[in-house]
Amino acid sequence: MSTTFTRYADDEISDSTIQMPQRILATSTHQYPIDVLAGRFEKYQADPSYAHDHYPWAARFVMGIPVASWARPLVWNVGQKSRFIAAEWTGSDLGSYLTNECFSSAGVGRTLAENSEILIDGQQRLHSLEEYFLDRLAVTDLQGQPKVWSEIGNGERRRFLSTIFAQSYVSSGDEEALRKTYNLCAMGVMSRTHDQRAAR
Protein backbone atom coordinates (compact mmCIF):
# COMPACT_ATOMS: atom_id res chain seq x y z
CA MET A 1 0.00 0.00 0.00
CA SER A 2 1.37 3.40 -0.98
CA THR A 3 1.56 6.28 1.49
CA THR A 4 2.47 8.81 -1.20
CA PHE A 5 0.04 10.04 -3.82
CA THR A 6 1.16 10.07 -7.45
CA ARG A 7 -1.17 10.98 -10.29
CA TYR A 8 0.23 8.43 -12.74
CA ALA A 9 2.28 5.28 -12.29
CA ASP A 10 5.91 5.67 -13.35
CA ASP A 11 5.83 2.25 -14.94
CA GLU A 12 2.61 1.01 -16.54
CA ILE A 13 2.60 -2.26 -14.63
CA SER A 14 -0.97 -2.17 -13.37
CA ASP A 15 -3.59 -4.57 -14.66
CA SER A 16 -5.11 -2.88 -17.72
CA THR A 17 -8.20 -5.08 -17.46
CA ILE A 18 -9.27 -3.26 -14.29
CA GLN A 19 -11.99 -0.74 -15.06
CA MET A 20 -13.62 1.55 -12.53
CA PRO A 21 -17.36 2.44 -12.50
CA GLN A 22 -18.48 4.81 -15.23
CA ARG A 23 -21.44 7.08 -15.72
CA ILE A 24 -24.38 5.41 -17.38
CA LEU A 25 -25.78 8.46 -19.19
CA ALA A 26 -24.02 11.63 -20.30
CA THR A 27 -24.90 14.51 -17.98
CA SER A 28 -24.92 18.27 -18.54
CA THR A 29 -25.31 20.95 -15.89
CA HIS A 30 -26.63 24.51 -15.99
CA GLN A 31 -26.34 27.09 -13.23
CA TYR A 32 -29.89 28.38 -12.75
CA PRO A 33 -31.32 30.50 -9.93
CA ILE A 34 -34.16 29.13 -7.82
CA ASP A 35 -36.35 31.63 -9.66
CA VAL A 36 -36.43 29.23 -12.64
CA LEU A 37 -37.96 26.53 -10.45
CA ALA A 38 -40.35 29.06 -8.90
CA GLY A 39 -41.58 30.05 -12.37
CA ARG A 40 -42.23 26.44 -13.27
CA PHE A 41 -44.09 25.90 -10.01
CA GLU A 42 -46.27 28.97 -10.62
CA LYS A 43 -47.13 27.67 -14.08
CA TYR A 44 -48.02 24.26 -12.64
CA GLN A 45 -50.23 25.78 -9.96
CA ALA A 46 -52.03 27.97 -12.49
CA ASP A 47 -53.08 24.91 -14.52
CA PRO A 48 -52.27 21.56 -12.89
CA SER A 49 -54.54 19.75 -15.35
CA TYR A 50 -52.05 20.57 -18.13
CA ALA A 51 -49.32 18.61 -16.33
CA HIS A 52 -51.65 15.75 -15.38
CA ASP A 53 -52.78 15.45 -19.02
CA HIS A 54 -49.19 15.31 -20.26
CA TYR A 55 -47.85 13.00 -17.54
CA PRO A 56 -50.75 10.79 -16.39
CA TRP A 57 -48.26 8.09 -15.38
CA ALA A 58 -46.44 10.35 -12.86
CA ALA A 59 -46.49 9.18 -9.25
CA ARG A 60 -46.63 12.82 -8.15
CA PHE A 61 -45.33 16.26 -9.11
CA VAL A 62 -42.66 18.18 -7.22
CA MET A 63 -42.31 21.87 -8.11
CA GLY A 64 -44.37 20.99 -11.19
CA ILE A 65 -41.91 18.32 -12.35
CA PRO A 66 -43.20 14.75 -12.83
CA VAL A 67 -41.75 12.03 -10.60
CA ALA A 68 -41.46 8.46 -11.87
CA SER A 69 -43.47 5.69 -10.23
CA TRP A 70 -40.24 3.89 -9.36
CA ALA A 71 -38.74 6.80 -7.38
CA ARG A 72 -38.60 6.50 -3.60
CA PRO A 73 -41.35 8.19 -1.58
CA LEU A 74 -41.02 11.53 0.20
CA VAL A 75 -39.00 10.68 3.31
CA TRP A 76 -37.39 13.85 4.68
CA ASN A 77 -38.63 15.02 8.05
CA VAL A 78 -39.37 18.64 8.99
CA GLY A 79 -35.88 19.17 10.41
CA GLN A 80 -34.19 18.01 7.21
CA LYS A 81 -36.44 20.19 5.09
CA SER A 82 -35.86 23.26 7.26
CA ARG A 83 -32.09 22.75 7.22
CA PHE A 84 -32.11 22.60 3.45
CA ILE A 85 -34.09 25.85 3.15
CA ALA A 86 -31.74 27.47 5.68
CA ALA A 87 -28.83 26.36 3.48
CA GLU A 88 -30.48 28.10 0.54
CA TRP A 89 -30.81 31.32 2.54
CA THR A 90 -27.14 31.27 3.51
CA GLY A 91 -25.96 30.65 -0.05
CA SER A 92 -24.54 27.20 0.68
CA ASP A 93 -23.75 24.86 -2.17
CA LEU A 94 -27.03 23.06 -2.89
CA GLY A 95 -25.59 20.54 -5.30
CA SER A 96 -27.84 19.93 -8.28
CA TYR A 97 -31.09 18.21 -9.11
CA LEU A 98 -31.24 15.83 -12.05
CA THR A 99 -33.93 15.61 -14.70
CA ASN A 100 -34.45 13.66 -17.89
CA GLU A 101 -34.84 16.09 -20.78
CA CYS A 102 -35.95 13.39 -23.21
CA PHE A 103 -39.61 13.48 -24.16
CA SER A 104 -41.74 11.87 -26.80
CA SER A 105 -45.41 11.51 -27.52
CA ALA A 106 -47.24 8.43 -26.30
CA GLY A 107 -49.51 8.77 -29.32
CA VAL A 108 -52.62 9.40 -27.23
CA GLY A 109 -53.85 12.99 -27.04
CA ARG A 110 -51.35 15.23 -25.26
CA THR A 111 -49.84 12.39 -23.23
CA LEU A 112 -46.06 12.11 -23.27
CA ALA A 113 -44.24 8.78 -23.10
CA GLU A 114 -43.47 7.48 -19.63
CA ASN A 115 -40.33 8.96 -18.03
CA SER A 116 -40.47 12.05 -20.23
CA GLU A 117 -38.98 15.08 -18.42
CA ILE A 118 -38.94 13.27 -15.05
CA LEU A 119 -37.12 14.33 -11.93
CA ILE A 120 -34.47 11.67 -11.32
CA ASP A 121 -32.65 13.08 -8.29
CA GLY A 122 -33.39 15.94 -5.92
CA GLN A 123 -36.99 15.08 -5.04
CA GLN A 124 -36.54 15.61 -1.28
CA ARG A 125 -34.85 19.00 -1.79
CA LEU A 126 -37.37 20.23 -4.35
CA HIS A 127 -40.26 19.06 -2.19
CA SER A 128 -38.77 21.03 0.72
CA LEU A 129 -38.74 24.10 -1.52
CA GLU A 130 -42.35 23.50 -2.54
CA GLU A 131 -43.43 23.12 1.10
CA TYR A 132 -41.67 26.37 1.93
CA PHE A 133 -43.31 28.29 -0.90
CA LEU A 134 -46.71 27.00 0.25
CA ASP A 135 -46.14 28.18 3.86
CA ARG A 136 -46.05 24.61 5.15
CA LEU A 137 -42.50 25.01 6.41
CA ALA A 138 -40.95 27.71 8.58
CA VAL A 139 -37.30 28.72 8.76
CA THR A 140 -35.74 30.64 11.63
CA ASP A 141 -34.77 34.25 10.88
CA LEU A 142 -31.80 36.18 12.35
CA GLN A 143 -33.88 37.04 15.43
CA GLY A 144 -34.57 33.36 16.06
CA GLN A 145 -38.20 33.54 14.96
CA PRO A 146 -39.68 30.90 12.62
CA LYS A 147 -40.94 32.54 9.43
CA VAL A 148 -42.89 31.18 6.47
CA TRP A 149 -42.52 32.46 2.90
CA SER A 150 -45.54 34.79 2.94
CA GLU A 151 -44.11 36.68 5.94
CA ILE A 152 -40.94 37.69 4.10
CA GLY A 153 -40.58 40.96 2.20
CA ASN A 154 -39.89 41.20 -1.50
CA GLY A 155 -36.26 42.25 -1.06
CA GLU A 156 -35.45 39.07 0.85
CA ARG A 157 -37.55 37.01 -1.54
CA ARG A 158 -35.51 38.33 -4.48
CA ARG A 159 -32.31 37.40 -2.68
CA PHE A 160 -33.58 33.88 -2.04
CA LEU A 161 -34.84 33.41 -5.60
CA SER A 162 -31.49 34.52 -7.03
CA THR A 163 -29.66 31.70 -5.21
CA ILE A 164 -28.14 29.22 -7.65
CA PHE A 165 -29.58 25.71 -7.62
CA ALA A 166 -27.96 23.91 -10.52
CA GLN A 167 -29.96 21.68 -12.83
CA SER A 168 -28.24 18.65 -14.27
CA TYR A 169 -29.90 16.63 -16.94
CA VAL A 170 -29.64 13.50 -19.02
CA SER A 171 -31.60 12.69 -22.15
CA SER A 172 -32.72 9.10 -22.52
CA GLY A 173 -35.79 7.05 -23.33
CA ASP A 174 -34.15 3.93 -21.86
CA GLU A 175 -35.94 3.29 -18.57
CA GLU A 176 -33.37 0.77 -17.35
CA ALA A 177 -30.57 3.31 -17.85
CA LEU A 178 -32.66 5.95 -16.05
CA ARG A 179 -33.29 3.56 -13.16
CA LYS A 180 -29.59 2.74 -12.86
CA THR A 181 -28.73 6.45 -12.94
CA TYR A 182 -31.32 7.04 -10.21
CA ASN A 183 -29.76 4.29 -8.07
CA LEU A 184 -26.27 5.75 -8.45
CA CYS A 185 -27.26 9.33 -7.57
CA ALA A 186 -27.31 8.98 -3.79
CA MET A 187 -24.71 6.27 -3.27
CA GLY A 188 -22.02 8.61 -2.00
CA VAL A 189 -24.27 10.78 0.17
CA MET A 190 -27.12 8.81 1.68
CA SER A 191 -27.62 5.38 0.20
CA ARG A 192 -31.15 4.37 -0.57
CA THR A 193 -32.44 1.36 1.26
CA HIS A 194 -32.97 -1.78 -0.78
CA ASP A 195 -36.71 -1.17 -1.07
CA GLN A 196 -36.05 2.35 -2.43
CA ARG A 197 -33.83 1.19 -5.31
CA ALA A 198 -35.27 1.34 -8.82
CA ALA A 199 -33.29 -1.47 -10.50
CA ARG A 200 -35.45 -4.42 -11.36
Q: In this structure, is residue 12 part of a structural domain? A: no
Helix (H, G, I), strand (E, B), or coil: what is residue 78?
helix
Q: What is the CA radius of gyration of the chain?
A: 20
The pLDDT value given to residue 5? 83
Q: Beta 96-100 vs 119-121: how paired, if at all? A: antiparallel
Q: In this structure, is residue 72 part of a structural domain? A: yes
Closest-CA residue to 168 (of 39, 73, 28): 28
DSSP 8-state code for residue 111: P
Q: In this structure, is residue 162 part of a structural domain? A: yes
Q: In this structure, is residue 37 part of a structural domain? A: yes
CB neighbour list of residue 59: distance below 8 Å, 6 or more residues apart:
67, 68, 69, 71
Report the domain count for the chain. 1
Q: In this structure, is residue 76 part of a structural domain? A: yes
**Angstrom distances, CA of residue 181 to CA of 28, 39, 85, 158:** 14, 27, 26, 34
- What pTM does this model have? 0.85
Q: In this structure, is residue 178 part of a structural domain? A: yes
Q: Report the distance separating Cα 19 and Cα 152, nearest Å.
A: 52
Which strands make up the sheet holding 28-30, listed edge to edge? Answer: 28-30, 166-170, 96-100, 119-121, 65-67, 60-62
The pLDDT value given to residue 104? 79
The pLDDT value given to residue 8? 80
The pLDDT value given to residue 13? 65
Q: In this structure, is residue 100 part of a structural domain? A: yes
* Per-residue tens of pLDDT for the chain, all 200 residues: 678 888 887 776 667 788 888 889 999 999 999 999 999 999 999 999 999 999 999 999 999 999 999 999 999 999 999 999 999 999 999 999 999 998 777 677 778 899 999 999 999 999 999 999 999 999 999 999 999 999 999 999 999 999 999 999 999 999 999 999 998 886 544 445 555 556 45
Q: In this structure, is residue 4 part of a structural domain? A: no
What number of other Cβ atoms are within 10 A of residue 184's Cβ?
Answer: 15
Structural domain including 163 reads 28-184
